Amino acid sequence: MQTYTLQSNTFLGLFVGQNIITLKFVDSTNSYLKDILSKSGPILEGTVILAVEQSAGRGQLGRVWHSESGKNLTFSILLNPSFLPIEQQFDLNKAVSLAINDVLSKHIGTSAKIKWPNDSYVGTRKIGGMLIENNIHGNLIKHAIIGIGLNVNQVSFPSVLKNVTSFNQLLQRDHDLLHLLKEICGAIEARYLQLKAGKFKEIGAEYLSKLYLLNEWSMYRINGKLQSGKICGVNAVGYLEVETENQIKEYGLKEIEFISN
């Protein structure tokens, strides 16, 4: 595995993205960042691990993230949100999801949505995903490793991937990956500072307003049963609130599955 730091790719004025380690090939940027955290001394908050090619990118519930080499953004960011109570871990998820949505909305418009808990959608198609892994010590979140995959210049995808899209497919042109990474780092920093300032209600309200299928009836598989439901909200710990058959219940990630339209 070849690793090198591109000094010219650090972004002035930001602490997120001020230090970028670029890997030509790695299994998972999240795993790489966890490994260097465990074996090295302190790492600068906001450090980005950027992969040109990632062989075993991971998503929620152990799913694999597929990405064509050199075409997309696959990276991880280190944050140290020790100010955030453990019971409010999901607020970090909301803030970073919103940051990615901020960038997507700028380029693509209001069709950019957040599919609970943290996938990035445009219309009914997935353009990005995220996996946050928190390192908790006592009552503190010592480190948060935020893995992000975003489809940018890839135009064809494996047939097993349904309902996916990319910047290129939507806008009919290639995008500069490093420029887009800079925008995302800036957006994440802004939302992280908003979180640090205690703007939890504002972040929660914005997250809800951007939620895919909010207040729309759709099909879900809930605890193995196919049924119609309507997303009504998200509770404080991140469970999805869904109305089914005139009752509202809360569901965790392993209990409910979206069914593609």
DSSP 216-227: -EEEEEETTEEE
pLDDT in tens, the chain (261 residues): 444 343 445 677 789 999 999 999 999 999 999 999 988 778 999 999 999 988 765 555 555 556 788 899 999 999 999 999 999 999 999 999 999 999 999 999 999 999 999 999 999 999 999 999 999 988 889 999 999 999 999 998 888 888 999 999 999 999 999 999 999 999 999 999 999 999 999 999 999 999 999 999 999 999 999 999 999 999 999 999 999 987 999 999 999 999 975
What are the residues whose beta carbons fall under 8 Å from the beta carbon of 14, sequence distance 6 or more?
Answer: 46, 182, 185, 186, 189
Element (H, E) at 177: helix 177-196
Pick the closest to residue 212 from 110, 128, 104, 113 (CA basis).
Answer: 113
100-144: pLDDT as tens digits: 999 999 999 999 999 999 999 999 999 999 999 999 988 889 999
Q: Quick count: other Cβ atoms within 10 Å of Cβ 130?
A: 21
Q: What is the dihedral of CA 246, 247, 252, 258, to 10 degrees?
A: 0
Which pLDDT score is estimated for 138? 87
26-52: pLDDT as tens digits: 999 999 999 999 887 789 999 999 999
What is the distance between the terminal CA atoms of the chain, rounded to a whole angstrom? 41
Q: How many angstroms separate the Cα of 75 from the Cα of each of 54, 80, 151?
A: 9, 17, 12
Q: Quick count: other Cβ atoms within 10 Å of Cβ 73?
A: 21
The pTM of the whole model exceeds 0.85: yes
What are the residues whose beta carbons fall under 8 Å from the beta carbon of 110, sequence distance 6 or more?
Answer: none
CA distance 135 to 76: 14
Half-sphere exposure of 228 (CA within 13 A, CB side): 6
CA distance 199 to 176: 32
CA distance 73 to 127: 11
Which pLDDT score is estimated for 225? 94
Q: What is the dihedral of CA 190, 193, 197, 202, to 10 degrees?
A: 40
Q: How many angstroms separate the Cα of 152 from the Cα of each of 26, 72, 91, 140?
A: 19, 5, 26, 35
The tokens for 90 are 């999901």
**The sheet that has 20-26: what strands, in order across it?**
3-5, 20-26, 48-54, 73-79, 140-150, 125-137, 119-122, 112-115
3-209 adopts what CATH topology?
BirA Bifunctional Protein; domain 2 (3.30.930)
Which pLDDT score is estimated for 208? 98
Which pLDDT score is estimated for 62? 52
The tokens for 211 are 């939620």
